[in-house]
Amino acid sequence: MTLYVHKYGGTSVGNLERIKQVADRIVQARQRGDRLVVVVSAMSGETNRLLALARGVQDPPDSRELDVLLATGEQVTIALLSMALQQRGCPACSYTGGQVPIVTDRAHTKARILDIDTGRIEADLAQGKVVVVAGFQGVTGDGDITTLGRGGSDTTAVALAAALKADECLIYTDVDGVYTTDPRVEPRARRLDRITFEEMLEMASLGSKVLQIRSVEFAGKYNVPLRVLSSFVEGPGTLITYEEESVEKPLISGIAFNRDEAKLTILGVPDRPGIASKILGPIAEANIEVDMIVQNVGEDGSTDFTFTVHRNEYRRALDILRRVCDQLGAREAAGDDTIVKVSLVGVGMRSHAGIAAKMFDALAREGINIQMISTSEIKISVVINEKYLELAVRSLHEAFHLDQSPA
Amino acid sequence: MTLYVHKYGGTSVGNLERIKQVADRIVQARQRGDRLVVVVSAMSGETNRLLALARGVQDPPDSRELDVLLATGEQVTIALLSMALQQRGCPACSYTGGQVPIVTDRAHTKARILDIDTGRIEADLAQGKVVVVAGFQGVTGDGDITTLGRGGSDTTAVALAAALKADECLIYTDVDGVYTTDPRVEPRARRLDRITFEEMLEMASLGSKVLQIRSVEFAGKYNVPLRVLSSFVEGPGTLITYEEESVEKPLISGIAFNRDEAKLTILGVPDRPGIASKILGPIAEANIEVDMIVQNVGEDGSTDFTFTVHRNEYRRALDILRRVCDQLGAREAAGDDTIVKVSLVGVGMRSHAGIAAKMFDALAREGINIQMISTSEIKISVVINEKYLELAVRSLHEAFHLDQSPA
């Protein structure tokens, strides 16, 4: 008998009507003979309501107490969903993270799962019950309530699927799968039937926020087949699998983009060993995260050094870079916060030459100037002026025939 | 160093402003050098909001899942109060019932406390922390969340005070103590400085709803000094003590009354052994609770039998009694749902004759007809027509000089 872990996010359980719809869906699945563990988030808006209460008394709120407070959000949902299932004649039983228990480390508000005891859940499943588990939360070894941070319910679902050796983990959300790119930018964007874990990781880290990146890593590590699908529309969604299991191997799976970056450049730096750390050290000390880094050594023995940061950190980073510029005797520190990053993602590019050339050619034909290039094994990213974003995405979508299903 | 358990009910923590006021009060107490454990209820309205959600999906809601849902109410309050204390520089730490743990039996929605492990609380107290505990909730031996039923937060506070051997348990509420009678009926009603546990039990069971009766029983059993006081107005409140410890021994402590009763009478019953059980057996089988019972044997060998029930059960009880009347060959079954019960309560009456006579005399002087009389060691109750309630209470208050402090 197959065992599925379902996960329903905040909008899927946003009010009593939607909770009842989720219950209907679960009852149908159970009638097909599936054994089911269901992970739920807090009703949409609830976590923000609780955060506002907390900030009304302490700012910033104590992290241990904040976890006690926020954990009530999912606790409400598990009780209501279990009741809705029972109302439909479906035996069901709820568990908080602490009751399972899902044991985490002590890092309040961003805890990591250390261990899951599946004993109680397996006993309930053996009795034919649907088990409803609170996502996002756990408990330390000495009984303190913890939360896994935003999006942690996905992680709970994947971790439970791994611990229970479930056949599949189904993440129900408000989109019906993973697309070749954002349909709001390219209306011809196509839902992918399958995507590999590695591609999904690149897509997620590049701003396609269908799944929490930690849950994808977790699923990959423990070999849990993951499916993203809509809780509102029937459909197969997108299956996230290991490359080896994938029958469909397109060159390119999708185009991701990120509007939240800004570019910083220091020009004419005397090229000596240790220059990179002298530039990035002060940036790291200021707790500013760096994304792309590109360095080119010029012919005159001086070098240009460029990197990108989150756009919110642009001003702080530029101030730091100007001081570094003086200390190093570099020519100039400059920046640009009107850039975007566009990336082609696909495991197929590993074994195919010419992908980069085809990409650059497609952009050049539209007169789009490339300011930075960075590549990894399954991804090519370029930085361009933000005004070209939509044009670049559509040109690449067309050049790589992403609107057509691979044969 | 003295150890106090404070308990704040729903109206005392009804919004963020009130939670901050409670925090201020606790900080003051701590500055006097007291060690403090604080028990809180859900914010007022929250439990009803959660109940409405539950009934929106399952009616009646499953009791196990209802407890999971309702327990979130106090969990929100403990986190917010701990944060408010920390914001004021006061180290504080919160615990749910399950985290303490407060172990209960498995009777969901009306569980009874079996055991409290005070280890974590005592460790926190030793570190100078204020410990904030969720009232109303516990956990079974195998980790299921339970609740103690309405008013259970008082019971939590008293049980914690007993387990911790606290010097006093302070119940903060929206009244500033226990009164000689209801001030809405007799404006000259006086706040009592002290009252014995036994008197408090009689007052509570007779409708003076300052404290939950179970918590008073618990406090008496474990010898926990209990104080009722206002969370809005400064004042000493009323201390509930053992009789032996009381310096103040008035004849009468107060006048309680109950408007929720109805009277049923079966007249001309052939007086044979077993008559009482033949009359009350069918009433008990219908799950109707009986309060006062009075039987008088007449000279003709027949008897009249009268008892009171809750007014909501009047119609059902009368229907049953009519059937019983036929079976027993009694003359008539009759009833009256326009009666009230008025009671004098006081440990002093044990050692003083003439209290009953003085009471009946005071009522007779006002022309109030007494329909039933029932006495216990520290209480005399009479049933009268409901139209005389206010008059009776004021006459008795005056006759026993309850507006004046005992010398």
Q: Could you tell me which residues come within 8 angstroms of residue B193 by beta carbon, excluding any fewer than 6 positions away?
A: B236, B238, B239, B248, B405
Label residues A248-283 b or e (16+ Cβ within 10 Å = b): eebbbbbbbbbeebbbbbbbbbeeeeebeeebbebb
CB-based contact B247:B348 (threshold 8 Å): no
Regarding predicted confidence, which is higher, A128 or A203? A128
**Beta bridge mates, A160:** none
Mean pLDDT throughout A167-190?
90
3-class DSSP state of A182: coil
Question: Of A72, A86, A87, which is closest to B72 when you measure between CB atoms?
Answer: A72
Residues A296-313, mean pLDDT to the nearest whole number = 84
> Based on C-alpha coordinates, what's the Rg of chain B?
24
Alpha carbon of A94: minimum distance to chain B alpha carbons (Å): 7
Nearest chain A residue (CA) to B18: A57
Q: How many Å apart are CA A181 and CA A189, to the nearest integer? A: 6
CA count, 13 A, side-chain hemisphere, B265? 17
pLDDT > 60? residue A407 = no
Predicted local confidence at residue A262, as pLDDT:
96
pLDDT in tens, A12-36: 999 999 999 999 999 999 999 899 9
Q: Show residues of chain A in contact with B83, CB under 8 Å.
A: 54, 57-58, 61-62, 65-66, 69
Please tell me if residue A143 touches chain B, with a CB cutoff of 8 Å: yes
Contact B209, B218 (CB under 8 A): no
Chain A residues close to B98, C-beta within 8 Å: 98
* Residue in A57, A78, A84 nearest the CB of B68: A78
- CB environment B231-248: b (16+ within 10 A), e (fewer): beeeeebbbbbeeeebee
- Across the interface, of B53, B75, B79, the residue whose CB is closest to A80 is B53
pLDDT at site B352: 72
The alpha carbon of residue B226 is apart from the nearest alpha carbon of chain A, in Å, by 29
Report the alpha-carbon distance of residue A347 to residue A251 in Å, rounded: 7
Chain A interface mutation, best of B68, B86, B137, highest count of A Cβ atoms under 10 Å: B68
Cis peptide bond N-terminal to A101, omega within 30: yes
- Chain B: closest CA distance from residue A129 (Å): 14
Do the chains contact at B72 and A76, CB–CB below 8 Å?
yes
Place of tokens 């104080």: B227
CA distances from B397 to B181, B248, B362 (A): 8, 18, 10
Distance CA B317, CA A258 (A): 74
Contact of A138 with chain B, judged by CB distance below 8 Å, is answered with no
Q: Does A83 touch chain B (CB under 8 A)?
A: yes
At residue A304, the pLDDT reads 86
% of chain A surpassing 70 pLDDT:
95
Return the DSSP state at B191.
Answer: B
Could you tell me which chain A residue has the CA closest to the CA of B50? A76
pLDDT of residue A102 exceeding 90: yes
Q: What pLDDT does A203 receive?
A: 80
Q: For chain A, give every domain's residue range.
A: 3-174
Q: At residue A209, does pLDDT exceed 70? A: no
User: Which has the closest alpha carbon to B107: B78, B72, B145, B75?
Assistant: B145
In which band, very low, low, confident or very high, does the pLDDT at A170 lie, cut at 50, 70 and 90?
very high
Chain B CB within 8 Å of residue A80 CB: yes
Query: Domain B3-174 falls in which CATH fold?
Result: Carbamate kinase (3.40.1160)
Biggest CA–CA distance in chain B, Å, is 79
pLDDT of residue A353: 72
Q: How far is CA A282 from CA A279, A291, A294, in A?
A: 7, 15, 18
Q: Which residues of chain A have a CB within 8 Å of the CB of B19? A: 57
Q: How far is A66 from chain B (nearest CA, A)?
A: 7
pTM comes to: 0.80
* Interface contact A68-B79, CB threshold 8 A: yes
* pLDDT band with cut points at 50, 70 and 90 for residue A367: very high
Coil, helix or strand for B398?
A: helix
pLDDT number for residue B298: 67
Per-residue pLDDT of chain B (407 residues; tens, 9 = 90+): 799 999 999 999 999 999 999 999 999 999 998 999 999 999 999 999 999 999 999 999 999 999 999 999 999 999 999 999 999 999 999 999 999 999 999 999 999 999 999 999 999 999 999 999 999 999 999 999 999 986 799 999 999 999 999 999 999 988 888 889 988 899 999 999 988 888 888 886 655 566 777 788 888 888 899 999 998 888 999 998 876 554 556 678 899 999 999 999 998 888 777 788 888 889 988 888 888 888 876 667 788 889 999 999 999 999 999 999 999 889 999 999 999 999 999 887 876 778 888 899 999 999 999 988 888 888 899 999 999 999 999 999 999 999 988 75
